[in-house]
Structure 1
Amino acid sequence: MRERLTPAVRQYLLVTGNYWAFTLTDGALRMLVVLHFHQLGYSPLQVALLFVFYEVFGVITNLVGGWLGARIGLNRTMNIGLGLQVAALSMLLVPAAFLTVPWVMAAQALSGIAKDLNKMSAKSSIKLLVPADQPGALYRWVAALTGSKNALKGVGFFLGGALLTTLGFAPAIAAMAAGLLLVWLASLVLLKRDLGKAKAKPKFRDIFSKSRAINRLSAARLFLFGARDVWFVVALPVFLSQSLGWDFWQVGGFLALWVIGYGIVQSLAPQVTGRRSGKLPDGRAASAWASILAAVPALMALLLLQGQSPQLVLVAGLSVFGVLFAINSSLHSYLIVSYAAEDGVSLDVGFYYMANAMGRLLGTILSGWMFQRYGLAACLGTSAVFVALAAIVSLALPRHDRAAAAPAGNVDASE
């Protein structure tokens, strides 16, 4: 096994380890902030506003970060992200009286920059490791990375709820900052310096994608993630705590299990979407899976409006939503890495994740505002509309010839 690990793969494993460590703290921090500030009496809209800068700076970071990664190397963008997350966590260690809305928003801005620098670096690196003639292996590697990341984010949600219950807000933040500091110091020493650097220095105007396929996929991604976050970020945890009387352990545990299950399904998505038949997904597949997903939040909203048991509707409905959303997300993650140019790959990936962050930003704001004004059913109805829009946009993505299939050797490569 050790002989099979080339220097490039070992470097990628280091990037992945960094990404995992960061993801754990990112998930825990999200849950800590939502539950702690709701406990202090913040309204759902105020809680949502705490994350606005997180998402706004995620948009900017993905747009600029891809260009930066192509110029200075993905190792540096990864290490900058880790350092900024340590700084963001440290900002929340001030006395409680200083934890004002502007201060927490500023800390979340740093965290948003850090998160997307890390994600862009990890997702871009994989394009450099898989041979161009093995698209099946590329799909599987992307699915494994994305799925494992989301599973760990789910663990982070549970960790955040558990730490808030057992340690309290400040000690939990301090413990996470100390652990991530050690990871950052190790990364500064071990990561190779020229990972992902483009051969030709891209100009700043190159941050905007010139590929029609990438632009369309980015639009679909915006609607897909807006559809998730319009109920997930604020509306659902506040509803579970406020309306159903769940405690922090239960809220954090439910969201953790949802994201962990979502991550596992993402890792298995190649098995579901054509690997057994030797075919790889294309725009037709992306549109079809989004169409199926759109029906789930629409049905959930209808059942809530009819007075069905909220607990049953949410647990059962969101379980189905999680499975289908994971397949959609995994398809998108494969398609963007497949479409991206190899030289300066982070430019295309960064642009795509800029759209992803725009969707999260839109969903976050709507999650607080719509839940406060109209309730959870309205959030789920909006989610259905957004997914339907993603399906429509995906119709314009490139398609394979129905008779064409990826060679079996490509699909099953690197077992």
Structure 2
Amino acid sequence: MLASLSPMVRQYLLVTGNYWAFTLTDGALRMLVVLHFAHLGYSPLAIAMLFLFYEFFGVVTNLVGGWLGARLGLNNTMNLGLGLQVLALCMLLPPSWLTVPWVMAAQALSGIAKDLNKMSAKSSIKLLAGGNSLYHWVAVLTGSKNALKGVGFFLGAALLALLGFQGAIAAMAAVLALVWLASLVFLRADLGRAKNKPKFTDIFSKSRSVNLLSAARFFLFGARDLWFVVALPVFLADRLGWNNWQVGSFLALWVMGYGAVQALAPKVTGATAQGAARWAAPLTLVPVAIALELDAGWPPGTVLVAGLALFGVLFALNSALHSFLIVHLAEEDGVSLDVGFYYMANAMGRLVGTVLSGALYQWAGLEACLWFSAAFLLAATLVSTALPRH
């Protein structure tokens, strides 16, 4: 059956399969680290610090990785990302090595791997599935990735309960190594290589539209991670008494639903840059409403479940529209340069959001995280109003 498909479609399926496999291990690893170290008695801020290098090196990797993809080809950057993730998982296997600096180093390697893989996959879509259907294929890739990340959250919690931390890590490393070997054999060698070799100075975007969209993305993803990454799972476990299965399942279902909405976004949002501001504005009100309801003494479980459902729908629509716009606005020759710069801003937002999530929760509670999230979303809305109208 695969032999009857066109070479472009086969390459698209291979890129998507790589991205899916990586996403499963990435989501599972994050949930494993959060739950394992929370049970060891680490504070929310200390847990956030475990991901500091993960997010920081994501910033660097997206900036440099776009240049590498344009010079070396997206096949090489994607395969490098898969190999580095296998190595990062193997670093966490010996129990005696699980000190904070070592885990931070492994997370740094995982952050590099994740953003090489994501930049390569998103850039490939413009080359493999362009034209009028571009928004559709970007939404399918992004939505399916986030649905699988939700599965990864559940997988991480389940593997932790069934196999323990080391057993879960070993199983994921073995499966991903097989995917990596298949990709080395079958992924096309010249995918995404620029005709004119870009200079290193070209890593910074010269497009006003890309720069504005990147700034909006920084605030959008910073707003999400300000309360979702550390504060929320710790609150659910410590304040509401949820166990591993409950926390992992709830966050997994949320991310899976978020991915499903992303896949449907082209039918809802339209494909205009001005939609970025129009859809960010109502999202700003959601964390405000949740914070006010928690402060008023409403049942926190009910408030968070309902609030997260609404937040997830609106955030998914915003995220999918952003993902389409950057691929659409990027230059086709050396597409990974603009995409890499944009996802550098995404990683910077996640870095700031992750650190603030742990710090604010420890110092002032979940409500403070929600108010800061609303401020970031307001900034994203204001920046998006400056995007071109066409």
The CA RMSD over aligned residues, in Å, is 1.0
Q: 1:78 matched to which residue of 2?
A: 78
- In the superposition, the TM-score normalised over structure 1's length comes to 0.93
Which residue of 2 is the match for residue 409 of structure 1?
none
Match of 1:183 in 2: 179
Deviation at 1:281, TM superposition (A): 2.3
Contact 2:213 2:387 in 1 (8 A): yes
Matched, 1:281 2:277: no
What residue is the counterpart of 2:11 in the other structure?
Answer: 11
CA offset at residue 205 of structure 1? 0.2
Q: Secondary structure at the match of 1:398?
A: coil
* One of 137, 148, 152 as aligned partner of 1:152: 148
Question: Quick check: 1:394 aligned with 2:384?
Answer: yes
Taking the aligned partners of 2:28 and 2:194, their CA distance within structure 1 comes to: 34
Distance in 2 (alpha carbons) for counterparts of 1:59 and 1:318: 27
Amino acid at match of 2:156: G
Per-residue displacement from partner, 1:179-230 (whole Å, max 9, x unpaired)?
Answer: 0001011111111111110001000000000000000000000000000000
Cα drift, residue 2 of structure 1? 5.7
Q: Which residue of structure 2 aligns with residue 105 of structure 1?
A: 104
Match of 1:89 in 2: 89
2:320 alignment partner in structure 1:
330
Q: Quick one: which amino acid aligns to residue 29 of structure 2?
A: L
Corresponding position of 1:305:
295
One-letter amino acid of the counterpart of residue 207, structure 1: I
Instruction: Select 2:307's aligned residue among 317, 331, 351.
Output: 317
Q: How does 1:233-244 map to 2 (within 5 A)?
A: 233-244=229-240
CA contact (8 A) 2:230 2:354 kept: yes
Aligned to 1:48: 48
1:365 and 1:91 mapped to 2: Cα distance?
23
Contact 2:11 2:128 in 1 (8 A): no
TM-score w.r.t. length of structure 2: 0.99
Aligned identity (percent) is 74
Q: Distance in 2 between matches of 1:385 and 1:310?
A: 22
Q: Are residues 79 and 113 of structure 1, via their aligned partners in 2, closer, same or farther at CA, if it must alter by over 3 Å?
A: same
CA distance in 1, matches of 2:376, 2:4: 44
SS at match of 1:128: helix
Give the residue type in structure 2 aligned to 1:366: L
Q: Deviations over 1:152-179 (max 9, x none)?
A: 0000000001111111100000000000
Match of 1:411 in 2: none
1:407 is matched with none
Aligned pairs (5 A) from 1:222-237: 222-237=218-233
Deviation at 1:9, TM superposition (A): 2.0
In the other structure, the counterpart of 2:348 is 358
The corresponding residue for 1:410 is: none
CA distance in 2, matches of 1:30, 1:355: 21
Greater mean deviation of Cα atoms: 143-152 or 4-13: 4-13
Residue 24 of structure 1 corresponds to which residue in structure 2?
A: 24
> 5 Å matches for 1:360-379?
360-379=350-369
Deviations 1:318-373 (A, max 9, x none): 00000000000001001001100000000000000000000000000000000000
Alpha-carbon distance between aligned partners in 2 of 1:161 and 1:85, rounded to the nearest angstrom: 19
What are the Cα deviations for residues 371-408 of structure 1, in whole angstroms up to 9, with x where unaligned? 000000111111111111000000000113xxxxxxxx
Is the alpha carbon distance of 1:131 and 1:142 closer, same or farther for their aligned partners in structure 2, counting shifts above 3 Å? closer
Residues 140, 302 of structure 1: alpha-carbon distance in 2 compared, 3 angstrom cutoff:
same
1:270-298 CA distance string (max 9 Å, x none): 11113xxxxx222x211011001000001
Residue type at the aligned position of 1:313: V
User: By how many angstroms is 1:129 displaced?
Assistant: 2.2
Q: 1:277 is matched with which residue?
A: none
Give 1:28 deviation, angstroms.
Answer: 0.2
Which residue of structure 2 aligns with residue 201 of structure 1? 197
How far the C-alpha of 1:4 sits from its partner, in A, is 7.2
SS in 2 for 1:335: helix
AA in 1 matched with 2:272: P
Determine helix, strand or coil for the equivalent of 2:240.
Answer: coil
CA distance in 2, matches of 1:337, 1:59: 18
2:50 is the alignment partner of 1:60? no
Superposed, which structure 2 residues align to 1:133-144 within 5 Å? 134=132, 137-144=133-140
User: Residues of 2 paired with 1:129 and 1:14: CA distance?
Assistant: 11
Letter in 2 for 1:267: A
| Structure 1: stretches of 5+ with no match in the other structure | 275-279, 401-415
How far 1:11 moved relative to its partner?
1.1
